[in-house]
Amino acid sequence: MSQKNNYQKLSEELITAVGGKENIVNVSHCMTRLRFNLKDESVAKKEEINKISGVMGTVMAGGQVQVVIGQTVDKVYEKVCEVANIKGGEKINENLDKPKGKLTIKSFFNGILDGLAGSLTPLIPLLLAASIFKMLVALLGPTMLKVLAPTSDLSILFTFVGDAGFYFFPIFIGYTSAKKFGVTPVLGMFLGGILIHPTFLALVTAGTKFTVYGLPVSLQTYTSSVLPIIMSVWVMSYVERFFKKLIPSTLKTLFAPVLTLAVMLPIAFVVIGPTGSIVGQFISKGLISLGSLGGIPGILAIALIGALWEFMVMSGMHIVMITALITVFFSTGSESFVSLGAIAASLAVSGMCLGVALRLKKEDRALALGYLLAGFVGGVTEPGLYGVGMRYKKPFIGLMAGGFAGALYAGIVHVTAYNLVPVASFLAVTAYIGGTQINLINGIISAAIAFVVAAAVTYFVDFKHDTEAIKINE
């Protein structure tokens, strides 16, 4: 059977297992997972999904049914959209008049996770590209390899290219959050651009009093911010929906966008922008304070992140930590708490796969080595997490030991991340480029410890008796 036919069959079975295309509100994907937002999540049959050939696992998290596919997720996503007749990434069949489910603490928290994931996940390629350009400036500059002079054209080019990815972040996230919340995408971008317009920034710098419709504005700088624009676009989804429903079809195209933005200006500048900024500062300062605890408490906190990070990834809880990490990074230009544990844990997944491969027979060993390459070179850890960890269970002990040990070392020697590198491959250590050379060396040592300890502990853990615990269709 051809690959195209495989994707067709997989897509049809997936759509059936999640309750049919009528049950799908929207579908998106990240690096390894298909993410379904469903009208009725209880209809999705997790056991049946896991039995489908090509599925590595299923996670119910953040108000989504997340199906782990692996590196071919983009191909499956395209076929799912084609089979279900869905315009990818956009909501369908909203049923705005349908009563909503009962609001609970769980549903509220899941809604937040879903909104953050849907807004931030599509930006991974942008963050990766921008970080690499900034990393090259640091690596090739006078403090490291001394190849590029700070005044050279190439150094200046790479610097402003890298900075652009972060400076204009509200515009980019305005687009992705608009797609997530069902707003006209260009309006989300427009609102992001308004928040970082040079005229407004000049008012902030000068400390000039400013009002919107007579309401005083709290002067804040929103460049490189995250929460203000996400929160604003979320509110704008209700405002735009109201005007689209109210205004006659013949006038909707002209007046709906204008009135939506007119209403959003005071909401964004007077209420949500400052509130989002305060929340972001609270998160940033909170995380920084945890990272600067010092002594045994601070080091152990970093080590625990290393031990538990991949389980947070599997549950979707890591989105909260990533949001905090990005907020801190944009505020200070570096981060020395979450990054240390996350990088160590990512390399520990590859180490776990190696440890398993060394213990298995030839057929299964090839699969484990494939997962090792997918993680260590390709930066995709979920094949290892589900194909090795969930399948044999006990290798998770090695994963946790490796993540803990690598992060523990990083905490002890006070490693700092200067680049946002959202990959789990060996390139993750480039996050430590930008400070001193010893910082980079210690970062590499931390990653090596995580890899070696995970491989060694996994190898000596007796997991062979658990090989039938979970059946994964390869």
Query: The domain spanning residue 24 has which CATH number?
Result: 3.30.1360.60
**Which percentage of the chain shows pLDDT scores above 70?**
89
User: What pLDDT is recorded for position 131?
Assistant: 85
What is the CB neighbour count within 10 angstroms for residue 92?
16
Tens digit of each residue's pLDDT (9 = 90 or more) over 236-281: 999 999 999 999 988 998 899 999 999 999 999 999 999 988 887 7
Identify whether 148 is part of a domain. Answer: no
What would the pLDDT profile of 33-50 be if each residue is shown by its tens digit?
A: 888 888 888 889 888 998
User: Is residue 130, in this structure, part of any structural domain at all?
Assistant: no
Q: Are residues 409 and 303 in the same domain?
A: yes
Residue 233, CA distances (Å) to 93, 180, 276, 299 in order: 20, 9, 12, 38
Q: Are residues 250 and 187 in the same domain?
A: yes
Shared-domain flag, residues 269 and 307: no
Query: Do 310 and 446 share a domain, yes or no?
Result: yes
pLDDT, one tens digit per residue, over 126-179 is 888 888 898 888 889 888 888 999 999 999 999 999 999 889 999 999 999 999
pLDDT in tens, 288-326: 676 666 678 889 989 999 999 998 887 777 777 888 888
CB atoms near residue 290 (< 10 Å): 16
pLDDT tier for residue 470 given thresholds of 50, 70 and 90: very low
pLDDT for res 305: 92
15 is a domain residue? yes
Q: Same domain for 324 and 272?
A: no
- Segment 367-426, tens digit of pLDDT: 888 889 988 988 878 788 887 888 788 899 999 999 999 999 999 999 999 998 877 889
- Compute how many other C-beta atoms are within 10 angstroms of the C-beta atom of residue 273: 23
Q: Is the domain of 381 the same as that of 460?
A: yes
Predicted structure pTM score: 0.73
pLDDT higher than threshold 60 for residue 91: no
Are 259 and 370 members of one domain?
no
Residue 161 in any domain: the answer is: no
In a domain, 227, yes or no: yes
**Which of 21, 55, 88 delimits the end of a domain?**
88
End position of a domain, from candidates 38, 72, 88? 88
Same domain for 322 and 413, yes or no, is yes
Among 88, 105, 137, identify where a domain stops. Answer: 88
Angle formed by the axes of helices 105-120 and 227-246, nearest 10°? 100
434 in the same domain as 300: yes
Number of domains in the chain: 3
DSSP 345-407: HHHHHHHHHHHHHHHS-HHHHHHHHHHHHHHHTT---HHHIIIIIHHHSTHHHHHHHHHHHHH
Domain that holds residue 433: 293-466
Asked if 174 and 266 sit in the same domain, the reply is yes
Q: Are 246 and 176 in contact (CB under 8 A)?
A: no
DSSP 8-state symbol, 466: G
- Cβ burial of 179 (10 Å; 0-12, 13-18, 19+) is buried
Among residues 415, 421, 406, the alpha carbon closest in space to that of 435 is found at 415
Residues 305, 408 within the same domain = yes
Q: Is residue 105 part of a domain?
A: no
Are residues 203 and 56 part of one domain? no
CA 210 to CA 200: how far, in whole Å?
A: 9
Which pLDDT score is estimated for 466? Answer: 47
